A and B are shown apart, each in its own frame.
Chain A
Amino acid sequence: MKERLQIWVPKLVLGPSFLLILFFVYGFILYTGYLSVSDSRMLPSYGFVGLENYEKLWNLRHWTGSLKNLAIFGILYIVICSVLGLMLAILLDQKIRAEGVLRPIYLYPMALSFIVTGTAWKWFLDPGIGLEQTMHAWGWASFEFDWIKSRTHAIYTVVIAAVWQSSGFVMAMFLAGLRGVDPDIIRAAEIDGASRARIYRRIIIPMMRPVFLSAFVVLAHLAIKSYDLVVALTGGGPGKATELPATFMYSYTFSRNLMGIGAASAIIMLIMIFSIIVPYLYSELRADRQS
């Protein structure tokens, strides 16, 4: 009897977590999926309307605009974070005596809430009070930096703040990668007379390919999920200049009472993320099993 019980204990322990996830994650995804083909407006409603919500969604300038913003934001965010992160990691990997002090400084923004980051940068970038005003006070009267108030440039201020927050993290990923490179390979190249720059360009950076991939996956999914930072920094404005899919979904579902369209936009976000994450996780898990 006790033996029989022992067999079931592990499953009974894992069971509740599994059921929670099954219900609150996958069940909820199905529910939202159904809402996206329903006539829900202010409250969920179950009349089937086919793909009507998706058609409406793609005809909304608000939605296509937020996708365009996501493309600008996402590409710049990923590229700048990766380049900056790799550069910082290489700089730090030169036997820097103060590395123990510098590394935590580069990384600490990752511990902050995006709301805090947004508050700080909103003010910093505000032409009436922050950087511009300070430059004026220092005597540079013609200095101008008003991107945050500009319909065409506000999205770049979101990039600035997001890069500030995440680039240190990418630096840490690359630094771990650099420290994992076999020293013998480098020594051999040095003996052959290769310069330091050449060693990095031809040997070390190509070896960082898996880190580039991980950084891309992490940053891309963070970009698609970005919500808090935009809310705190620009509130989606000026106008709709910094609306992203995440803010779109929230405002259509909860402020404009067009829940069907909001659900459809959430499904599109999920598809975007899964098309990046699922192949990645699949290959990671498979590699894991083989090793």
Chain B
Amino acid sequence: MSNTSTEALNRSSQRLSHGNRLTPARILLYVLLVLFAIYYLLPLYVMLVNSFKPLEEIRGGDMLALPQAWTLAPWSSAWSTAQIGVQATGLKPYFMNSIAMVIPAVLLSTILGALNGYVLTKWRFRGDGVVFGLLLLSCFIPFQIVLIPMARMLGILGLAGTTSGLVLVHLVYGLGFTTLFFRNYYAAFPTELVRAAQIDGAGFFRIFSRILLPSSGPIIVVSVIWQFTNIWNDFLFGASFADVDSVPMTVALNNLVSSSTGVKEYNVHFAGAVLAALPTLVVYVVSGRYFVRGLMAGAVKG
């Protein structure tokens, strides 16, 4: 499915002619829709509400009740003092690790993806289909297949346990997606414009920066959001390749939640979970439309 179908998604349905009057059937319809909305919102609501409760109140039972005594202590604990692994640093340093990993990985993979998409659509050559096919297929591999050699390779490159190592990993395994996004987008871009510029003597990079780039805004947003969400949410690579000063947020959250020592501070766990979810949630709320477009393009190739 191409981008047009997502445009169609955002258009309101025009065709079903009756409706809109409040018949019993329509009331039932709305009740169902609201029940589903509650189902999807409930876990987030439970996490939020309970992250503001003192621990005794949580143990009391009613997880849906609003806090009787609101407290910010779980949040400050999750952020700066909670025990993660052996250290009582809170999630803050790991949040920063994730930021330091995500930004370069997203930028590099998007830039390379844009250039690849440009070559694969406007400078086609013999065998380009095979190149694209191999890039595309790489999106789907189970990452278990690369864990062992990647661990060794990072060691050989001297990048074991570093943020740079994780950037490399996320760059490599994100290239397929970013290339796909830009390739599909540029395929719809009139090739005649490129040929005309070529005849006028414009070179490869000049055509890219003057002709394609200015109209690439939407697909850049799609690519950045997709990569940001995926890399921020990654757990497997973080758990496999990170070391003390490169552990990302998801791995730290899992350590916090599953640590078996002492009392389980559920309110702190929830505050931590919301902190880990916050960046991607904010991106989703601000630009959900583009997020959906990325999902659809990633879902239905070609």
Contacts and interface: CB of A to CB of B under 8 A. Distances in A.
B160 to A, nearest CB: 14
A151 B266 CA distance: 24
B135 A21 contact: yes
Interface stretch (B67-75, B141-149, B210-218): B141-149
Given A14-B115, A179-B9, A267-B145, A227 B236 contact: yes
Contacts of A72: none
Contact of A111 (B143, B291, B296): B291
Q: How large is the interface on A (under 10, 10 to 19, 20 to 34, 35 or more residues)?
A: 35 or more
Contacts of A98: 33
B6 interface: yes
Contacts of B97: none
Interface stretch (B55-63, B79-87, B88-96, B99-107): B55-63
Interface in A78-103: 88, 91-96, 98-99, 102
A32 interface: yes
Contacts of B116: 13-14, 17
B142 A172 contact: no
Contacts of B146: 24-25, 28-29, 32
Interface of B is mostly: helix
Nearest to B130: A18
B57 to A, nearest CB: 11
B148 A263 contact: yes
B66 interface: no
Contact of B292 (A95, A172, A177): A172
B47 interface: yes
A111 B280 contact: yes
Interface string A216-252: 0010010011011001100100000000011001100
A109 B205 CA distance: 40
A203 interface: no
Interface string B266-302: 1001101100110011011100100110011001111
Nearest to A35: B148
Given A116-B276, A164-B40, A288-B302, A95 B19 contact: yes
Contacts of B301: 281, 284-285
A26 B136 CA distance: 12
Nearest to B17: A190
A288 B112 CA distance: 23
Interface of A is mostly: helix
A35 B296 CA distance: 36
A29 B149 CA distance: 9
A111 B147 contact: no
B216 to A, nearest CB: 16
B40 A108 contact: yes
A22 B137 contact: no
Interface string B222-241: 00000001001101100110
A125 B152 CA distance: 39
Contact of A14 (B37, B131, B280): B131
A113 interface: yes
Interface in B127-170: 129, 131, 133-138, 140-150, 152-153
Nearest to A137: B61
A174 B30 CA distance: 19
Contacts of A96: 29-30, 33
Interface string A162-182: 001000110011011111100
B1 A138 contact: no
Contacts of B142: 224-225, 246, 266, 269-270, 273
15 contacts: A6-B204, A11-B119, A35-B148, A95-B19, A111-B291, A115-B235, A115-B273, A123-B269, A124-B46, A179-B11, A215-B299, A245-B144, A270-B145, A281-B136, A284-B300
The 6 A-B pairs at the shortest CB distance, nearest first, are namely A137-B61, A183-B15, A284-B302, A10-B123, A113-B233, A111-B284
